[in-house]
Amino acid sequence: MFSLDHRRNTIIRAGIAAAALGLGALCATSYAQNYDSTSPAAPRGADADLAVRVKQALHSDKSLDDRHVDVAIEHGDVVLNGFVQDSRELLVAAQVATKAAGNHKIVNRLLIKQNFPNAP
C-alpha cells in the first residue's frame, strides 16, 4: 500500500496540474478574445485575414467612425462588437462589413453610443 505522504503528494500534484491547465485555458481564451487583428503578431490564417479585410473596409469608409468597432470571427461568422454614433453608422457598418465579408454571415452586435453615456 501507499503511505499517507505518497497519497498527499499525489493529490497535491493533481491539484497543481489542474490549476495549470485551467490557467492555460484562461490565458488562451483571453488572448483569442483580445487580439488586435491589425497587429503583426495576430494569428494568421483565413479567419485573421477575413477580420483584417473587414476592419480595413470599415476604416476606409469615411462616413463611419470605426474607432470603437471591433471585428472578430466566430465559427466562420463575422462579428461586429462595440459602439457607433447613431443608427446611420450602424447601418453603414453592417453594409460595409457585408460587402467586405463576401459569403460570410454578419453578426451585428454594435450598439449606438448615445444610448450608453459611459461608453468610450
The arithmetic mean of pLDDT across residues 5-10, rounded, is 62
Residue 10 is which amino acid?
A: T
- SS3 letters for the chain? CCCHHHHHHHHHHHHHHHHHHHHHHHHHHHHHHHCCCCCCCCCCCHHHHHHHHHHHHHHHCCCCCCCCEEEEEECCEEEEEEEECCHHHHHHHHHHHHHHHCCCCEEEEEEEHHHCCCCC
Q: Between residues 58 and 120, which one has the greater pLDDT?
A: 58
Task: Provide the pLDDT for residue 115.
Answer: 66
User: pLDDT category, 1, cuts 50, 70, 90?
Assistant: low
Condensed to tens digits (0 to 9), the pLDDT of residues 22-68 reads 555 444 443 444 444 444 444 458 899 999 999 999 999 999 999 99
**Residue 89: predicted pLDDT:** 94
